[in-house]
Amino acid sequence: MTYYHKKLKEIKDRGCVDFMKIKHNGRDVILKLVDESDETVNLLYNWRKKYRDMFATDFQMNEEKTRKWIKKDILENPERILFIIYFNNKKIGNIGTAVYDKTTNSARLDNMMKDPSCNYPGIMTVVEKVYLRWMFEGLKLSKITGFLFSDNKKMMNIHKKCGWITIDVVPVEQKKMEDGTKWEEKKSKSNDKPVERYFNIIELTKESLMENFGAIKFKILM
């Protein structure tokens, strides 16, 4: 078992307890492992619906599928972890990690969303910076990767404040699956169908993150 997988297992074994505490405008932002409560299922379901156009896959969603996704794809999956973000004792978003690559000792920033009704300026930038630092230091990664649609300018602006760089821009096309659709890299250059959207392929090093980190107070609680 790699250090990455061992660390994720340790966190999951502790359950839904305070994992990370961040100071934001004099108040505490808390990250906890995702739970299977009705409240969390409902929130993740509704956030996913709200931002469905910003995901590579789209399908018929419901709360039961969301509950199974939390259990099977997150809590029982050694490759992935997801945290719920709390502010003023309210669940306002989520952020996670996935897709470990042993050859490059890298992993992907995954599933970062904020409640649309949350109006606390700068909070997701602060959370992302601290979370990325934990990915480097807590998971001992050499590099963090990611991708997002090029038209997701709001999220890309947050990423830039953390030090991410775009290493490639890839044309993508939407393909039908049995239970929905999926955006994939457009392989055929001879295809006359116009390019609908693009993916920004992004990377982050610890050096670049620390150059943009600033004076953020935080504490990892395990």
Q: What is the DSSP string of 154-197?
A: HHHHHHHHHT-EEEEEEEEEEEEETTEEEEEE---TT--SPP-E
pLDDT in tens, 142-183: 999 999 999 999 999 999 999 999 999 999 999 988 888 999
Give CA–CA dist 187/137, Å, rounded: 37
Task: Write out pLDDT tens, residues 51-61.
Answer: 999 999 988 88
Does CATH place domain 3-213 in 3.40.630.30?
Answer: yes
Query: Could you tell me the two tokens for 110?
Result: 């995954």
Neighbour-count burial of 85, counting CB atoms closer than 10 A to its CB (0-12 exposed, 13-18 middle, 19+ buried) = buried
The pTM score is 0.95
Closest by Cα among 143, 9, 179 to 81 = 9
Residue spans of the domains in the chain: they are 3-213
Instruction: Give the span between the Cα atoms of 78 and 100, in whole angstroms.
Output: 10
Kindly state the DSSP code that residue 73 receives in the 8-state scheme: I
Q: Which residues pair with 98 in a beta bridge?
A: 108
Better-predicted residue by pLDDT, 9 or 60: 9
